[in-house]
Amino acid sequence: MSEVQANGLTEAETKGRALDLRSLDNPKAMKLYRRFDGIIILVLFMFLVLGVQIQFTLTAGDWDYWIDWRDRRWWPLVAPFSLLLFIAPFTYGIWYRVRLPILATAITTLLCLVSWLSRYLNFYEFTHFPLSFTFPSTYIGLGILLDCALAISRSLIVSTVIGGGLFGALVYPINWSFMAPYKVPVEFNGMLMSVADLMGYQYIRTTTPEYLRIIEESTLRTFGGSVTPLTAVFAGLCGIVIYALFLWVGSWVNGLDKFTKRII
Amino acid sequence: MAQENTQSIALDGSTDSKVAGHFKRNRFAYMFGAIVIAAGTAIRIYLDTMGFSVGTDYYSEEFQKYWMPVLYGEIIFLSSFTVILSTYLWMTRETDASSISKELELQRYWKLLGIFTVMGIWAGCVASNAVESDAAWHQVTIRDTDFTPTHIVIFYFALPFLTAMLIPAFIWTHTRIPAYMNKISLPFLAVVCGILMIMPNYGFNEWGHTFFYAEELFAAPIHWGFVFLGWSLFFLVPLAMQLIGNMARLIAEATDEEAGQSA
């Protein structure tokens, strides 16, 4: 057993720290550190691409594939819920270990890139849907807000309440400029509908029955135009809760940075 | 003398020209990476060409001729690849961690990063090509059959190939790198198990598919098993931190010794 010194470190740990500090003045060591950082970032980002694609497409994909699915009640709720759940554990790990508030921006940007590539290859080239009908939504602005909340407050609790809340609440406004042309009312066969709905009628898909069951269900319309802001408030609440819950999952996962005994 | 050569390659490859040295150090990642990209491109072109023309009905002769051999080939290739490579790596394992020099250990960490780079490239290919191809397929086909081209590509090649690379990488790491020998890295094990368990989860997915004549909803609960198992990627951060800690110290020691020798 190494003897503990006055500063609370063992002799070996003190020597290790001195070695680490010396390496910062060594150009060869710094060159290797930079190469090493580059590879780790590349690998982590590539796996993040796969992870977020699986997570998002299998929990909120339908709302993101089709412009007519981006409704006022489910899409602004499901999309941030799915994303925050994936972002939180990575944010916790990277913030806790290296104090970098970048994961939300990185994950939303990676999702944007891979979604565009995937929609082009799979929905446009493979199954011949128009890109104007299947282009992905953007969540990059939400990721920046979440990271800024963490960077400015330096507190996971504050960033959960402010950043998580804003992430949930602002899905609709941040995509509004892309969606506005599709919300223009048109008359078709004597019925009033949006351009997005008209495109949905023209491109019958196997999700069409689900579209009729899920999107804009109910007929009372007692809330009129308030549906979108009310959904935003509820999505903000869900964002705070799910982000907090999965930050806790992140703390548990990052606590498992351990080795166990070999079985064979 | 042999140790000096090893050290120079582990640190900066100074014995070679810049380009040749760079390729030599990273040849595993470049060559294997190029092979997996070529394999991914080939199977993607095959899916685009033969998916709708001969792939919509499992009971048709065309499907049996053009798609079932692909499925059998994938199963044979991936099983052989995993079993043979894993067995070889286990049988040729190091038994004495103390005989591995710091330079060799550092060299092996670079190789491990090369292996992870190749897996990362494949993960990117799967994310951009495979995952949503199934979503798009099921939106335009009006009936589901026992096997479909997109399932043959995703479930029997794309995701299992990731597992086929992860298992040997796990064995290689735990039998070649001293910090990992005679113990098991929990985050690495969690990543491998999570991705591996996606394959048994096909049972849940296919069982769910028997209820539908078509996909209808891609965010359906029958797909949530994949999501849950995908959460095993959360363990990449603690795994990366293990690697960063070990490699940073090794680089500091190796460069410090070299600076000491030259002074």
Q: Is the pLDDT of residue B4 over 70?
A: no
CA-angle at A225, arms to A194 and A238, nearest 5° = 100
Whose tokens are 């495979």? That residue is B130
For B52, counting Cβ atoms within 10 Å of its Cβ (0-12 exposed, 13-18 middle, 19+ buried), the class is middle
Q: Which two tokens mark A89?
A: 């554990």
pLDDT class of A2 with cuts at 50, 70, 90: low
What's the gap in Å between the CA of B216 and the closest CA on chain A? 4
Greater confidence, A21 or A244? A244
CB < 8 Å to B124, chain A: 46, 49-50, 114
Beta strands in A118-209 (DSSP E): 185-188, 191-194
Nearest-angstrom CA–CA distance, A194 and A214: 17
Q: What is the pLDDT of residues A156-200, one digit of tens each?
A: 999 999 999 999 999 999 999 999 999 999 999 998 899 999 999
Number of domains in chain B: 1
Q: Is the pLDDT of residue B5 over 50?
A: no
Q: What is the pLDDT of residue B15?
A: 54
Nearest-angstrom CA–CA distance, B241 and B245: 6
CB contact at 8 A, B198 and B157: no
Q: pTM for this one?
A: 0.91
Q: What is the mean pLDDT of residues B17-32?
A: 78
**Cα pseudo-dihedral B107, B112, B114, B119, rounded to 10:** 180
Q: In order of start, what are the domains of chain A with their CATH numbers?
A: 12-254 (1.20.1450.10)
Q: Which two tokens mark B42?
A: 């080939």
Radius of gyration for chain B, computed over Cα atoms and rounded to the nearest angstrom? 22
**In 3-state terms, what secondary structure has residue A243?**
helix
B48 and chain A: CB distance < 8 Å anywhere? yes
Greater confidence, B39 or B10? B39
Whose tokens are 């554990």? That residue is A89
Q: Is the pLDDT of residue A39 over 80?
A: yes
**Worst-scoring range by mean pLDDT, A29-38, A106-115, A219-228, B186-195?**
A219-228
Give the rounded percent of residues in chain A with a pLDDT score beyond 90. Answer: 72
The answer to whether the Cβ–Cβ distance between A122 and B126 falls below 8 Å is no
Nearest-angstrom CA–CA distance, A40 and A20: 19
What's the gap in Å between the CA of B258 and the closest CA on chain A? 10
CA-angle at A196, arms to A191 and A199, nearest 5° = 80
Task: Give me the domain span that covers residue B124.
Answer: 2-262
Q: What is the pLDDT of residues B208-245, one digit of tens each?
A: 888 765 557 889 888 999 999 999 999 999 999 999 99
Q: Which two tokens mark B33?
A: 């990476």
CB contact at 8 A, B112 and B177: yes
Task: Say which of A29, A48, A118 has its CB closest to residue B252.
Answer: A29
What CATH number should be reported for the domain holding residue B43?
A: 1.20.1050.50
Nearest-angstrom CA–CA distance, A247 and A91: 8
pLDDT, averaged across chain A: 91
Greater confidence, A204 or A50? A50
**In 3-state terms, what secondary structure has residue A73?**
coil
Q: What is the mean pLDDT of residues A98-127?
A: 96
> What part of B 110-139 touches A (C-beta under 8 Å)?
113, 116-117, 119-121, 123-124, 126-129, 131-133, 135-139
Q: What is the mean pLDDT of residues B109-130?
A: 94
Q: Is the pLDDT of residue A261 over 60?
A: yes
**Torsion sign (Cα): A71, A74, A76, A78:** negative
Q: What is the mean pLDDT of residues B87-93?
A: 96
